[in-house]
C-alpha cells in the first residue's frame, strides 16, 4: 500500500466524487469530503464547505497534503444558466488552486473534461485528427468546456508563478451506473451514428484509480492526462461507423483495432502507471455467458 496521505476531495459526495473518496479510503488515505451534502462513506470526514469562498476553504485545507478538485457544475444541461456554469466553475477552481498554492500543498488533481477537444458534449464538432492525445488542439464549444479550458490555463499559471504541482485529468462520459445484462446485450443491435465522443467512456472505478495514481505520484510540474477505457462502448466497430455514417471525419490510422478507443491514454500509463481495468467487450462476453 502507498504512504498514507491527507487528501481533500471537493465534490466528494457527487456521482464521480463518491467513487474517488471510496477508493482513496480503501488505499489507506485520510480523506476530507468537502461538499454541500454528506457522502455515502462514513469513513471520510465530511465538511459542509462552499469552496468558492476562500475564507471557508483555507481553514479546512491547511492540514491536507493534496486536494482532488471535482466540485463543478458538470455540464450545460443541468438547469444552470450558461454564464453561471462558467462563473461557478472558474470561481471554484481558481479559489481551490490558489488556496492550495498559498498553503504549499504537495499536489492538486484537477477534474477536466474531454469536451475541451470539441467532439464531446453540446455543439460538438469533428476532431482535427485521430487518435486524440493530450496534444490535440483545444476546441471548446460550450460554456462548460470553455470553463475547463480557462481552468487548465489557470492551473498552468499557478504552477508557473506559485510552484504548485498539478495533474489535470481529461476524461469522457463516466458510466456511474452499471448496465443490466439485457442492456449490455442490447448493444449488439445498435447500428447508428455516434451519439457522443465516438462511444468513448470510462468506468468510475477506473477514474477513481486515476485520481489516486495522480495524487500518490504527485509528479512535479503541471501535466495533462487523458483517461479512458481501452475500448469503445459499441459492438459495431469504429471503422464500420466511420464508413457508414461519418465519411467526412478525419481517417483513423490504417491498422487501428476495430474497438480501440480513439482517445488514447498512453501518457497516464507511462507516467502514472495507470491503465483501465473495466472493459465493455469483457462485460458483453460475461453477459452472454450468463445467458
* Among 115, 78, 122, residue whose Cα is nearest residue 200: 115
Q: What is the pLDDT of residues 89-115, one digit of tens each?
A: 999 999 999 999 999 999 999 999 999
222, three cell numbers? 503541471
pLDDT of residue 1: 74
pTM over cut 0.75: yes
Homologous superfamily (CATH) of 6-176+201-229+263-276 is NAD(P)-binding Rossmann-like Domain (3.40.50.720)
DSSP per-residue letters across 240-278: HHHHHH-TTSPPPPTT--TTB-SB--HHHHHHH------
d(CA 192, CA 137): 27
Q: What is the pLDDT of residues 39-65, one digit of tens each?
A: 999 999 999 999 999 999 999 999 999
d(CA 178, CA 142): 28
146, three cell numbers? 470553455
Amino acid at each position: 500500500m502507498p504512504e498514507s496521505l491527507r487528501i481533500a476531495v471537493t465534490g466528494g459526495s457527487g456521482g464521480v466524487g463518491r467513487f474517488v473518496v471510496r477508493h482513496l479510503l480503501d488505499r489507506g488515505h485520510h480523506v476530507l469530503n468537502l461538499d454541500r451534502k454528506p457522502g455515502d462513506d462514513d469513513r471520510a470526514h465530511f465538511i459542509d464547505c462552499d469552496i468558492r469562498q476562500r475564507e471557508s476553504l483555507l481553514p479546512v485545507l491547511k492540514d491536507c497534503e493534496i486536494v482532488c478538485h471535482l466540485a463543478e457544475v458538470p455540464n450545460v444541461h443541468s438547469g444552470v444558466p450558461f454564464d453561471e456554469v462558467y462563473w461557478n466553475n472558474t470561481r471554484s477552481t481558481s479559489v481551490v488552486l490558489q488556496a492550495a498554492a498559498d498553503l504549499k500543498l504537495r499536489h492538486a488533481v484537477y477534474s477536466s473534461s474531454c469536451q475541451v477537444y470539441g467532439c464531446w458534449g453540446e455543439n460538438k464538432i469533428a476532431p482535427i485528427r485521430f487518435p486524440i492525445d493530450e496534444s490535440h488542439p483545444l476546441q471548446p464549444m460550450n460554456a462548460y468546456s470553455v470553463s475547463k479550458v480557462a481552468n487548465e490555463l489557470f492551473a498552468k499559471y499557478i504552477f508557473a508563478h506559485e510552484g504548485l504541482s498539478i495533474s489535470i485529468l481529461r476524461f469522457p462520459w463516466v458510466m456511474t451506473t452499471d448496465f443490466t445484462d439485457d442492456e449490455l446485450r442490447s448493444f449488439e443491435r445498435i447500428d447508428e451514428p455516434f451519439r457522443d465522443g465516438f462511444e468513448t467512456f470510462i468506468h468510475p472505478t477506473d477514474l477513481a484509480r486515476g485520481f489516486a495514481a495522480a495524487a500518490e505520484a504527485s509528479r512535479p510540474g503541471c501535466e495533462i492526462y487523458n483517461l479512458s477505457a481501452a475500448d469503445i462502448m459499441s459492438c459495431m466497430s469504429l471503422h464500420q461507423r466511420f464508413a457508414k455514417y461519418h465519411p467526412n471525419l478525419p481517417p483513423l490510422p490504417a491498422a487501428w483495432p476495430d474497438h480501440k478507443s480513439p482517445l488514447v491514454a498512453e501518457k497516464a500509463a507511462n507516467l502514472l502507471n495507470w491503465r483501465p481495468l473495466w472493459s465493455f467487450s469483457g462485460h458483453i462476453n460475461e453477459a452472454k455467458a450468463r445467458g
